[in-house]
Structure 1
Amino acid sequence: MSEKRGLSLEDKREKMLQIFYESQDFFLLKELEKLGPRKGVITQSVKDVVESLVDDDLVSKDKIRTSVYFWSLPSCAGNQLRNETDEREEALTELKAIEQKYNMLKDEMGQYVDNDPAAFEAMKEAIEVAHAAPTDGQITFSF
């Protein structure tokens, strides 16, 4: 008595991409909503899945007059993924350089902690409190 479970979002995305790659054609949303169920993607989720693919630049979208067309070619998706990889590598290199600079500056700040004006003022106030304390010669402890 197992329940039939639907496809995960990632599975739906793969199935919709297959539609684009197999036909290498342009589609209206209505056409995709008809083709989706043939691949196991229910009609109600086709729009959300296609929009997520558009958001990730795996599917292109363009409005011509009153119609919105969707398309994706295997070469375009491959190029997009390669471009994202290059951008990611550049970003990681930049991040590493920034982290090194941050750690260097943090170490340098540690060298100057003894000359911190706020710490100096706190010590000065502590000394004044100590001098103002009563000195009757007796030390009392409370437990």
Structure 2
Amino acid sequence: MSKKRGLSADEKKTRMLEIFHNSKDFFQLKELEKIAPKEKGITMQSVKEVVQSLVDDHLVDSEKIGTSIYFWSFPSKAKTAKKRKLNDLKHELGECAKKLKKTEDNIVVELEDREPTEERSLLIKTVEELKKKEEALKKEMQKYRDSDPEYINQLKTEMIDLKAAIDRWTENIYILKSYIKNTFQMENDVIEQSFNIPQDLDYYE
């Protein structure tokens, strides 16, 4: 025989509200602790917590009169609370829409001003060309390694300059990625995919 499932928090709140709305009366906590278990199946130990949750949600009002605290809620109270919640959500949605529109406008402006796509293409193209030239120089060095020490020294100097140039252009790409990431809140893999930046791009070792 399966064990009977207990009431969820939302079910308890709904049933507790029914007590208020059906009676349209005022209650002390000790009265609710007697009524709720019998009429709504809410355990006495959880009554205080459920009532306080409804108060926090502005679905039940409470007031201390003398030494006693009274609770009450009318059907119109729930309707008003839902309407207020709806208005709050509409306002929040409107603010989000404004922020989204502003961000989209900023992206358009920044892309037009900085032209990141064109600059990115130039940077990557330059790095690739420098790497190809470096490989060609390596082969040239190998060819003349034993026959022309002066020429080899010249090639070594050019290689050092090329390595420095590769690192400079690589640094420019990293700066551009950092700017796009911080300005448009984009992840690295999204930036690399959007602008065709190689994932293994790194400084020359």
| Same structural fold, with TM-score higher than 0.5 when normalized by the shorter chain | yes
What does residue 11 of structure 2 align with?
11
What does residue 82 of structure 1 align with?
83
Q: CA deviation at 1:86?
A: 2.2
What does residue 64 of structure 1 align with?
65
For 2:77 and 2:7, locate their aligned partners in 1 and report how far apart those are by CA, in whole Å.
25
For 1:64 and 1:57, locate their aligned partners in 2 and report how far apart those are by CA, in whole Å.
19
Q: CA deviation at 1:114?
A: 6.6
Between structure 1 and structure 2, the one with the greater Rg is 2
CA deviation profile, 1:2-34 (whole Å, cap 9, x unmatched): 112211111111110110011101111111111
Superposition CA RMSD, Å: 2.2
Structure 2 length-normalised TM: 0.54
Which segments of structure 1 move beyond 6 Å, counting only runs of 4 or more?
none
List gaps (5 residues or longer) in structure 2.
117-152, 160-205
Map 1:1-143; keep pairs closer than 5 Å: 1-38=1-38, 39-113=40-114, 136-138=154-156
For 1:87 and 1:48, locate their aligned partners in 2 and report how far apart those are by CA, in whole Å.
25
Structure 1 length-normalised TM: 0.75
Same amino acid, percent of matched pairs: 43
Q: CA deviation at 1:111?
A: 3.5
For 1:104 and 1:23, locate their aligned partners in 2 and report how far apart those are by CA, in whole Å.
55
CA deviation profile, 1:110-135 (whole Å, cap 9, x unmatched): 344479xxxxxxxxxxxxxxxxxxx6
Kindly indicate whether structure 1 or structure 2 has the higher relative contact order, using CA contacts under 8 Å at least 6 residues apart: 1
- Shifted more, 28-37 versus 104-113: the winner is 104-113
List gaps (5 residues or longer) in structure 1.
116-134
- Shifted more, 106-115 versus 67-76: the winner is 106-115
**Number of aligned residue pairs:** 121
The residue type paired with residue 7 of structure 1 is L
For 1:91 and 1:70, locate their aligned partners in 2 and report how far apart those are by CA, in whole Å.
31
